[in-house]
Structures are given as C-alpha cells and as structure tokens.
Structure 1
Amino acid sequence: MGNTPSKSDGGYEPPKTTLFEKEPSGVTYRIPALVYLRRSGTFLAFAEKRTSSRDSDAKVLVMRRGLQRDDGSVQWLSSEELPMACLPNHRTMNPCPVFEKNTRTLFLFFVCILGHTSENRQIITGKNKTRLCYISSGDDGHTWNEAEDVTQSVIGETIHKWATFAVGPGHGVQLENGRLVIPAYAYYIPYRCFCFPVPHTVYPRALTVYSTDFGKTWHMGKMLHKRSCECEMAEIIDHEGRSHLYCNARNFGGYRREALSENSGVFFDKPRMARELVEQPRGCQGSVIGFPPPEFIPSEDAESKASDTSPLSPDTQTWLLFMHPTSKHCRRDMGVYLNRSPLHSRGWDRPWIIHSGPSGYSDLAYNRENDQFSCLMECGKESELEQIAFMSFTLKEVMQTNRKTC
C-alpha cells in the first residue's frame, strides 16, 4: 500500500536556495526549522551546527533571516549563531519555533543534552541527560532573552520514567483558542531491573508541551498509546467550527503514525497507521501544516477527485500539506502530499516529488497573503547531509501536478 510518487510532465521541481551547506572541515548543518512572521514579512530558518554529522557532535543553533520582497522572492541575510540558546556543558538540538500572535512573542524551544551523551546511551542506561529549554524574542528574532530551563516545571518527576526526550523538530502551532502547542516525544521506561530499563521495552511516544496563557507557563500532555517518535502537529477546523489537533509522527512499521486530539493536545485518541504515507525502515522526520482551502476548486481537479478513492469532502475548513521522503527503502525523493479531507483516514493524494535524490528532515511554513508554501529540507546529490535548502511553491502547483498524474 502507500501512495505512488508522481511528477508533473518534465519532472518540474521548484528552484532551491541553499541556506546552510556542509563545510570542507566537516562542519555539518542538520535538523531544519522554519517560521514565517506575517507582520514583518520575515522568514526565520533555524538549524543545528555540528562539528560532524553525528548527533553527539551537535554544537549550537544557527539562524538565517529571509525578507520577503514584493516580487515574491526572498532576500537572505548572513547566518548567525544563537549562543544564548544553550546551557553550560550541554549541546543544543532540535529547534522548534512557535509565534504567539497576541503578545507578538516568538518562542524557540530546543533540548540541551549533557556533553556528548548519545540518545542510545540514555535509552540503554535509563539515565536521562536532557533538559527542556526555550528562548524568546519580542522583536521577530533580532534579540533574544536568555535560555529558560523549564524541565522541572513542565516534566517534573515524570522525567525519571523517561530515558530521554526531545521536541519537534520543526515548528509548533498556535490554535484558534490561543493555546500554544509544541510537539514532543519521549522514550518511556515501563519496566526497570536493578535500576536499568528492561531491554526492548523502551520506545518513543509522541506528546505535547502546551501553554494556555500565551507562554507564561507550560504544561505536558499525555503520551500516545502507540509507538510514535519525532512529530509535528496541525489544527483542523471542521465544518461546524470545532477544533481537532492532528499529529503526524515518525514510525518504524513502514508507514507514518497519525492521531487526533479533541481537547487541544491534552491527549490523543486511537492512533492509527497512515497507510498512504510510507516510512523508511528506520524512519525519518516529516513536516505537516494546516491551511484554509481555496474558495474555488478548478473543475478538472474536482472531477478527477470525484473519480478517485480519496473523498473530496467539505467536512473541514482546513486542508493539510505533508512533506517527507517518498521512498520506501531509504531517505530520498522528497515529496509533498495534499489532504483535502483530513478527518478521513484515506484522504492523502499521491505525492509531488519536489527534490529527486537524497532527502532528509524538513519543515513547512505557509504565507496566507500570497497563498504560498515555503519549506526547508535536507538534501543533496550524493547525501541528504550536503545542504539545507529553501524552496517555495503554490497550492495551484501542487494541485496541477496531482491532476496531471491522475
């Protein structure tokens, strides 16, 4: 099962702009995160700067600022490090930004891990060496406050039941009710023997970190009941105006994991396998974003969907876009999937390949003013670790591509 990747005639791929590129010294940039700040027409692109490609060699977060021009192009400024996003003797990983529109505050969440302690070592020993932190900015990322370590106030004693954890990576979301949601996951320890986790019982589960007071205080939701790892979330508004929080998570069973929450992420009901979204054997992070559907759907597209098995149902005021490598075997051929009926279990279109070749982690952003999507993605010719590139495209391009391949 799973959707078959598709290309438009001629294999059109939107042009890319390289923002971060592997250096001859071995310095590697990984784990992209992207946020679009509507008020100032600004993109902020984040990544980890590592001394090598290894997770244990992560060093500091970096950022590039992109200014949206009137002609639709983006002017990118030089890269800058974020030394305030750190704790002493820790390395910083997994950037996860979210913008709070009422106070106009940008929060950048991340995790700090002690020294070079690997994720695998924490899982084997059951000794958690990770801290939950964020920095915030009131001027669209020009200046930042010092790092806040909120591990104790958010996770508390529960951390002793987690081998390790992380946020995102990728963007968070603000719901229509004002709640801020940061996607996260933790390696839960169900059983211990002589203080060590029982082998093969520790596996990741997705959850939320959320705030109901514009970011003053943060809380932790309940974990999914099924295996689920790195995740992103999006709000779906149905035709009656009710909110559903959608979770799309990395998985290890050949397909992605999906779940819905009816209480803004406090807990998720009935996680399911997304059998239209393939997953590589070891999994890979993916990005998802919600957006309002167009007022008018081209007649050709509506007719093609009417004959397809995926319903074109007006049951929501939200469509979803998902981005992830489309190969079943390895991280390559980055694809964009459209879902016009996100409350159905079989709503995903076949993907449009926007980068043929090695592809890895990604993040999506949406600009309402020009109905344009933008993304960051790890990609290259020989390896997905060669660069992190920026790309923009429209919903019309996505829909036309899918229509041509029906």
Structure 2
Amino acid sequence: MAETSGVSEKVTLFRQEGGLTYRIPALLYLSSESTFLAFAEERISPQDEHAKFLVMRRGQKEGLSVKWGPLQTLETAVLPEYRTMSPCPVYDAKKGTIFLFFICVEANVSEWSQINMGRNAARLGYIFSKDGGRTWSPMTDLTEQVIGHDVNNWATFAVGPGHGVQLSSGRLVVPAYTYYIHKHLVGHPTFSYTKPHSFAFYSDDGGKTWLKGHLLQQPLRTSECQMAELVDRNNSLVLYCNARSSDGYRIEAFSRDGGHLFEAPFKCLKLQELNDGCQGSVVSFPSPQLGSESSLASSKTPELWLIFSHPTSRKTRADLGIYLNPCPLKENSWKTPWILNTGPSGYSDLAVCTGEDPLFFGCLFECGISMYYEEIAFQLFSGAKLLKTQNTSSAEEN
C-alpha cells in the first residue's frame, strides 16, 4: 500500500471485454478538488481505425488512495462520420477551465493511408468544462481557424496524446505532431514523401484564440510528444519537448519562447526507443533541497526536475519505467529507470499532485498479461519512493 511502500496498488480503470478495447490514456489532476480525470479512447477492436469516441473516469484522491467513479462517455466530443482520437487535456488553473483537445478522423481512413497518399482526413477539435469535468461544452472545430491552408501540406496530424501544460506565464500549450508532405513522388501522384515533425498549439488569452508554433526541424523525426516547463539559471522560461522517434532514441528539444520556435532537436542517448517507437509521458516538478519528501512539495527554488514514463524494453512494449532527470537542461542526465509495471506495457500519462505535502505522482498506463492493450490501469507513487529508487540505483552503479 502507498502508506508503507510509497506506491499504491494498481487499479484497473478500463478493461478490454470481447472486442471492446480501451487505448491511449490521458491524465489530468485538479489540485483545487484533489481530483484525477482519466481519459481514453473506446474502440471496437485494438486497431486505430476502429476507435469510436472518448471516455472518462473521475477519481477523488483521499489521502493516499483514489476513489474512482463510473465510466462516462464524452458525448459532445464527436463529429458525424468521424472517429474521435488522441485525448489531450490542458487545465487553465487561473480560470478554472479544462480544455480537452482531440482529433476527429474520417471513419475507416487509416493513418497509414493518409501518410502514403498525402491526404489528410483529420480535424482538430476540443470541448471545455468549467465545473471540473462534470459537464462539457459542444465541440469546437479549430481546423480552419488554427491550421488554415497549411493543412494542405499535412498528410495527417494529431495532438499529444497525453496532457498539455499551462506555463507560469499563463500560456496554454498543447503538444502536437504532423506528417509534413515534403514532396510528391514523381510518376506516382497518389503517393508522397512525408516526415513527422512535433510542434505545439498554444493560447495566451485563456483559450479564446489558438496559434500553432513552428515544426521541429529535420533531419531527426519527431512525432507523438509531450512538453514540460523548466527554468534556467537566469530564471528564464524554457519549454522542454520529449518526442517519439524511429531513430532509435527519444528526441529532445528546447524552446525559449514558450513553444513558438524550438531549437535544433537532438537524440537523448539515455532514453532508448523501441524500433517502431512508443508514446511516453513527461512532467516537471520542484527539485528537492535536502532530499526530504516534504521539500519536494514546498521547495521555493526555481529549479525544476523531470520524470518520464516509457517502456524500458528495446524489443517490445514491456516493463514500464519511471525515469528521473535532476539536470534537465544538461544533455543525457536521465537516471536508471525504476520499473513501475513489469510485463506488457504501452502508452502512459503522468500527473503531479501539485500543492500537496508529501508530493505524489499519478500514472495512467496501458498494460496486460499477454498484450499491452488489455487494460488501462492507474497507480500513485510518492516523491520519496522515486528518490529512494534512484538513490538505490546510483549506489548499485557505483
């Protein structure tokens, strides 16, 4: 139990039944209500093309445990003749508004066919809630307003998946990626040459208007991504991006202007990637001053650390690890991962229980006995547990 080990028992929130499958977890923590919101896609099979709509469960944190409510279908996050995918929530703590971003993709059109043919079938949408996720607005379609004519050069695109972030400036940031059409193949008008690029959507007016940032540049390929806020030695904002890639390692990049433009991306040699890649999650949190658990939550220093969740196996989606980075502005500073879930493990999403002492993290992740998509489970773990595992790993390495 969390009270003694610093890790709660694993609780299944979404379970595969027959052909019905739940995939693509996204997690949000509302500190004002001590509440988790867990999102996922409901599908009629594990295949991407068989996604239907988004679902949610609400969890009330009570001390070191979470009491979860029933599954709810997000009935307004829909577009007729389209399937809803890639939940990506971001919370405006200043106004108390939750924005849930997602994409709607034409029914039965696969991502692979969009990439090969250079024909986008996705649209950008969101719904919002002003009452902690109890009720939701109708869907807003932002495709023309935010992407505009650039969508003609995108074979397809998506947000996240996972969570967005609100920066200390108040800016709302939604991580995203697109398969950009670099050229059409000569003699094959129905085929195109595309490469994936991560980027961000952002808003500086509380979600009234949204803009898109510049794409991360070649030659590295960056797709599904998450972002976190850091602060450098000059107390200046730095936005960190951690992206999936097919280049053998996770790709990292920094932005000094809040996500409009990222510096040159680079491979992180401490974070190896599966051959076909896998989504991962990242969050920042205040660094400990004296190594105590309470200082994790109460530290007033501007320095921030990172944790990252991702399968640790190089061969298959298995053994979900939690990685710690105490020097995130220095390349290759990630520590040896602590294994949170042994066995099949896929996509995951992290959340920090901000404003609490002791500090806890929530992790929502795909897992199973034979396959990683059999269920989506949740666990809490403490900052003290994380530091203890890292201290143990460091001692063993020495």
Distance 1:139 1:37, change over 3 A: same
The two structures have a TM-score, normalised by structure 1, of 0.90
Q: 1:57-76 maps to which residues of 2 (within 5 A)?
A: 57-69=50-62, 71-76=63-68
Secondary structure, in 3 states, of the residue corresponding to 2:113? Answer: helix
Corresponding residue of 1:173: 165
Q: CA deviation at 1:294?
A: 1.8
* Matching of residue 240 in structure 1 with residue 217 in structure 2: no
Corresponding residue of 1:37: 30
Corresponding residue of 1:117: 109
- 1:103 aligned to which of 95, 119, 123: 95
In structure 2, what is the Cα distance between the partners aligned to 1:158 and 1:97?
24
Q: Flag structure 1 segments of 5+ consecutive residues without an equivalent.
A: 1-10, 299-314
In structure 2, what is the Cα distance between the partners aligned to 1:287 and 1:265?
17
Corresponding residue of 2:247: 253
Distance 1:245 1:333, change over 3 A: same
Judge conservation of contact 1:29–1:50 (CA < 8 Å) in 2: yes
Q: 1:184-223 maps to which residues of 2 (within 5 A)?
A: 184-192=176-184, 193=186, 196=189, 199=192, 201-223=193-215
Greater relative contact order: 1 or 2 (C-alpha under 8 angstroms, separation 6 or more)? 1
Q: CA deviation at 1:125?
A: 1.2
Judge conservation of contact 1:373–1:395 (CA < 8 Å) in 2: yes
In structure 2, what is the Cα distance between the partners aligned to 1:281 and 1:12?
33
* Matching of residue 357 in structure 1 with residue 349 in structure 2: no
Corresponding residue of 1:375: 363
Corresponding residue of 2:297: none
Judge conservation of contact 1:126–1:196 (CA < 8 Å) in 2: no
Judge conservation of contact 2:366–2:374 (CA < 8 Å) in 1: yes
- 1:276 aligned to which of 249, 254, 270: 270
Distance 1:157 1:195, change over 3 A: farther
In structure 2, what is the Cα distance between the partners aligned to 1:283 and 1:175?
28
In structure 2, what is the Cα distance between the partners aligned to 1:196 and 1:120?
16
Q: CA deviation at 1:116?
A: 1.1
Corresponding residue of 1:404: 392
Post-superposition CA distance 1:82-126 (Å, at most 9, x none): 110011110000000000112111000000001110001111111
Post-superposition CA distance 1:313-339 (Å, at most 9, x none): xx9610000000001111100000000
Secondary structure, in 3 states, of the residue corresponding to 2:323? Answer: strand
In structure 2, what is the Cα distance between the partners aligned to 1:41 and 1:241?
29
Corresponding residue of 2:310: 324
Q: Flag structure 2 segments of 5+ consecutive residues without an equivalent.
A: 293-300
Secondary structure, in 3 states, of the residue corresponding to 1:56? Answer: helix
Secondary structure, in 3 states, of the residue corresponding to 1:288? Answer: strand
Secondary structure, in 3 states, of the residue corresponding to 1:191? Answer: strand
Distance 1:197 1:346, change over 3 A: farther
Q: 1:109-148 maps to which residues of 2 (within 5 A)?
A: 109-148=101-140
Judge conservation of contact 1:124–1:196 (CA < 8 Å) in 2: no
Secondary structure, in 3 states, of the residue corresponding to 1:155? Answer: helix
Secondary structure, in 3 states, of the residue corresponding to 2:265? Answer: strand
RMSD of aligned residue pairs (Cα, Å): 1.7
Corresponding residue of 2:320: 334
Q: CA deviation at 1:295?
A: 2.7
Q: CA deviation at 1:405?
A: 2.4
Q: CA deviation at 1:72?
A: 1.9
In structure 2, what is the Cα distance between the partners aligned to 1:35 and 1:54?
25
Post-superposition CA distance 1:368-401 (Å, at most 9, x none): 2131000100011111011100001012111111
Corresponding residue of 1:50: 43
- 1:264 aligned to which of 258, 264, 269: 258
In structure 1, what is the Cα distance between the partners aligned to 2:94 and 2:6?
40
Q: CA deviation at 1:358?
A: 0.5
* Matching of residue 384 in structure 1 with residue 369 in structure 2: no
The residue type equivalent to 2:130 in the other structure is G
Q: CA deviation at 1:196?
A: 3.6
Q: CA deviation at 1:22?
A: 0.3
Distance 1:64 1:229, change over 3 A: same
- 1:17 aligned to which of 11, 32, 55: 11
Secondary structure, in 3 states, of the residue corresponding to 2:182? Answer: coil
